[in-house]
């Protein structure tokens, strides 16, 4: 098979090491199915335009489908000697149908073809990514439901702040992932535009029906400007960025799971089947899975910077630089899919340590804010209430007591407004229940949120 799509104008053979440096076939072969899918749609359009006869059209489509099947079965060798996936498929086609195969590239350039392939690929993969996000969300909601009622300290600055329901805490991650899903949906829309018909950069003189091709490929729209269409990689950047934010969210979740599984926090037990040991310290059980997810945030950020850098200051239209758009996309995609799967598996198997959570929620002056709020209800201005409470906490710390262990007499030394009902405000369950506002941590609010979430992910 011939291995490149050009050459009439050249006097010398291609340098061998350059050929291999230049070739994208080692990675763009991943676009094989999409390249064939696009070619089939293009072939239909050529028939409609009278460039291919009905019969030629059928022979080509049949051959392309066969190539796809052969590759899936491993019957066709993907030799590294090809310049790219497009050259490979055209050569395989010509092998099957002879000179007829040479007609397929009419009204098309690799510039619009490769843009199409990557868009089709991302279209499919973004949908898969969204499904995986949903699965993780579903598992989060299940975990939240299973642990309904469990209280743990909410933190700010990694200092214990106020008690919250574990289910409320978990639902926060549901919300982050919800924004991720929306961002990927936005990116999907951006991908869903047909560049084919732009040819090299200027459009084509052949009367291709671009709308028909778009419909055939289930794309929402056709590109409006041929020069933009072949030099635009916004859709790939949008994808890389969506991956970066998703990984940031997963890195936060991972960080918390790492903390929670330390001996010091001790909130959670990771399953043996998802932990690792040490080659030297026999007692160790390490949360590698979440450490790796946290770490891989770096590479997904790196991929985003990589393509942003590559695209900077490129003059119109297509430049070879854009060939570098694929590996970073593939790497972020694989990373994100792997991390989503791992996180889903992991949280299907973690177990919260109820006793420890109870213990820590009873300590640490978690209800100081409730005390301040109590004072406000009694007519103290918030700023004074805050000040008074601060002094009470200091006093209690000196005495080695928690707030609810102080006597009314002790309270009265700080404010005459405090009465016996203060102990009601220092009850952790009631504290939780008072946060009934939408978005608050009360049982009622959280249950409503979980219900809402279940509806969203089942749709």
Taking the least distance from each CB to a copy of itself, the nearer of 69 and 449 is 449
Cis peptide before 317 (omega within 30 of 0): yes
Q: CA dihedral in degrees (198, 203, 207, 211; nearest 10)?
A: 30
Taking the C-alpha atoms of residue 245 and residue 185, their distance in angstroms, rounded to an integer, is: 14
Stretch that binds a copy of itself, among 32-40, 68-76, 83-91, 405-413 (CB under 8 A): 83-91
Instruction: Decide: 257 and 267 in contact? Cβ < 8 Å.
Output: no
What part of residues 426-455 is at the interface with a copy of itself (CB under 8 A)?
A: 434-442, 445, 449, 452
Q: Using CA atoms in the order 424, 429, 431, 436, what is the torsion angle rounded to 10 degrees?
A: -120
Rounded to the nearest 10 degrees, the angle between the axes of helix 325-347 and helix 110-146 is 10
Q: Of these, 123, 168, 181, 326, which contacts a copy of itself (CB under 8 A)? A: 168
Q: Which of residues 402-431 bind a copy of itself (CB under 8 A)?
A: none
Dist. CA 72–CA 92, nearest whole Å: 14
Does position 9 interact with a copy of itself (CB under 8 A)? The reply is yes
Choose, by CB under 8 A, the member of 54, 73, 77, 280 that binds a copy of itself.
280
User: For the CA atoms of 340, 344, 345, 350, what is the dihedral angle to 10 degrees?
Assistant: 130
Does residue number 48 form part of the binding site for a copy of itself (CB under 8 A)?
no
The answer to the question of residue 329 lying near a copy of itself (CB under 8 A) is no
Give CA–CA dist 314/320, Å, rounded.
10
- Using N-to-C axis directions, what is the helix angle for 166-191 and 443-458, rounded to 10°? 30
Q: Work out which of 15, 131, 220, 424 binds a copy of itself, going by CB under 8 A.
A: 15
- Shortest Å, Cβ 268 to a copy of itself: 13
169 binds a copy of itself (CB under 8 A): yes
Q: How many CB atoms lie within 10 A of CB 240?
A: 27
Which of 341, 359, 419, 421 contacts a copy of itself by CB under 8 A? 341
Residues 129, 147, 192, 317: which binds a copy of itself (CB under 8 A)? 317
Residue placing its CB nearer to a copy of itself in the complex, 305 or 412: 305
DSSP state of 363: S
Q: Which one of the spans 17-25, 35-43, 73-81, 117-125 is the region binding a copy of itself (CB under 8 A)?
A: 17-25
CB of 385 to a copy of itself, least distance (A): 8
Question: 185: part of which helix (H) or strand (E)?
Answer: helix 166-191
Please tell me which residue in 157, 224, 273, 458 is annotated as part of the active site. Answer: 157
Burial tier of 316 (Cβ tally within 10 Å: 0-12, 13-18, 19+): exposed
- From the list 4, 305, 44, the residue with the least C-alpha distance to 197 is 44
Taking CB under 8 A as the criterion, the residue among 29, 148, 286, 330 binding a copy of itself is 286
Q: Classify 12 as helix, strand or coil.
A: coil
Give the largest CA-CA distance in the chain.
101
d(CA 154, CA 435): 13
Toward a copy of itself, which CB reaches closer, 202 or 412? 202
User: Whole-number minimum distance, CB 407 to a copy of itself, in Å?
Assistant: 19
Contact string 355-394 vs a copy of itself (x = CB under 8 A): -----x--xxxx-xxxxxx--x----xxxx-xxxxxxxxx
CA distance 222 to 213: 9
Stretch that binds a copy of itself, among 32-40, 59-67, 72-80, 108-116 (CB under 8 A): 108-116
Among 53, 79, 319, 429, binds a copy of itself (CB under 8 A): 319
7 forms part of the interface with a copy of itself (CB under 8 A): yes
CA distances from 239 to 24, 112, 217, 223, 308 (A): 21, 19, 20, 19, 12
Instruction: Report DSSP state, residue 52.
Output: S
Tell me how far, at minimum, the Cβ of 340 lies from a copy of itself, in Å. 11
Query: Is 278 among the catalytic positions?
Result: yes
292: CB partners within 8 A, 6+ apart: 339, 342
Minimum distance of a copy of itself from residue 319's CB (angstroms):
5
212 belongs to the binding site for a copy of itself (CB under 8 A): no
Among 143, 289, 340, 457, binds a copy of itself (CB under 8 A): 289
Q: Which of 34, 57, 68, 210 binds a copy of itself (CB under 8 A)?
A: 210
Helices (H), 363-418: 368-377, 382-399, 408-412
> Stretches 58-66, 69-77, 117-125, 204-212: which one binds a copy of itself (CB under 8 A)?
204-212
Task: Verify whether residue 168 is a known catalytic residue.
Answer: no
Among residue numbers 126 through 145, which ones bind a copy of itself (CB under 8 A)? none
Among 48, 139, 216, 302, binds a copy of itself (CB under 8 A): 302
User: Which residues are marked as active site?
Assistant: 157, 278
């Amino acid at each position: 098979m011939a291995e490149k799509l050009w050459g009439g104008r050249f006097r010398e053979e291609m340098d061998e090491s350059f050929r291999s440096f230049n070739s994208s076939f080692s990675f763009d072969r991943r676009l094989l199915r999409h390249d064939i899918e696009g070619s089939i749609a293009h072939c239909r359009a050529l028939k409609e335009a009278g460039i291919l006869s009905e019969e030629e059209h059928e022979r080509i489509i049949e051959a392309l489908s066969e190539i796809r099947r052969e590759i899936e079965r491993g019957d066709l060798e993907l030799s590294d000697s090809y310049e790219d996936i497009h050259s490979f498929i055209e050569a395989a086609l010509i092998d099957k149908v002879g000179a007829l195969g040479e007609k397929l590239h009419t009204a098309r350039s690799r510039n619009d073809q490769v843009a199409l392939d990557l868009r089709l690929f991302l279209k499919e993969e973004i949908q898969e990514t969204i499904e995986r996000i949903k699965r993780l969300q579903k598992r989060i909601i299940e975990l939240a439901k299973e642990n309904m009622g469990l209280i743990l300290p909410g933190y700010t600055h990694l200092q214990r702040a106020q008690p919250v329901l574990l289910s409320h805490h978990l639902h926060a991650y549901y919300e982050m992932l919800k924004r991720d899903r929306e961002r990927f949906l936005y990116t999907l829309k951006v991908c869903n535009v047909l560049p084919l018909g732009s040819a090299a950069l200027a459009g084509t003189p052949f009367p291709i029906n671009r709308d028909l091709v778009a419909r055939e490929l289930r794309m929402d729209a056709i590109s409006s400007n041929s020069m933009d269409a072949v030099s635009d990689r916004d859709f790939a950047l949008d994808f890389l960025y969506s991956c970066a934010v998703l990984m940031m969210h997963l890195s936060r979740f991972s960080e918390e799971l790492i903390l929670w599984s330390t001996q010091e926090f001790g909130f959670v037990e990771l399953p043996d089947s998802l932990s690792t040991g040490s080659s030297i310290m026999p007692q160790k059980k390490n949360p590698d899975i979440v450490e790796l997810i946290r770490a891989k945030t770096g590479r997904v950020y790196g991929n985003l910077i990589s393509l942003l850098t590559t695209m900077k200051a490129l003059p119109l239209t297509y430049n070879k630089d854009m060939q570098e758009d694929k590996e970073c996309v593939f790497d972020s995609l694989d990373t994100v899919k792997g991390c989503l799967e791992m996180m889903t598996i992991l949280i299907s198997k973690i177990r919260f340590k109820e006793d420890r959570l109870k213990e820590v929620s009873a300590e640490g002056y978690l209800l100081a804010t409730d005390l301040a709020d109590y004072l406000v209800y009694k007519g103290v201005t918030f700023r004074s209430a805050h000040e008074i409470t601060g002094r009470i906490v200091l006093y209690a710390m000196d005495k080695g007591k928690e707030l609810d262990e102080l006597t009314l007499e002790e309270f009265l030394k700080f404010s005459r407004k405090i009465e016996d009902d203060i102990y009601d405000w220092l009850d952790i369950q009631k504290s939780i229940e008072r946060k009934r506002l939408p978005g608050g941590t009360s049982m009622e609010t959280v249950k409503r949120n979980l219900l809402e979430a279940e509806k969203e992910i089942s749709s």
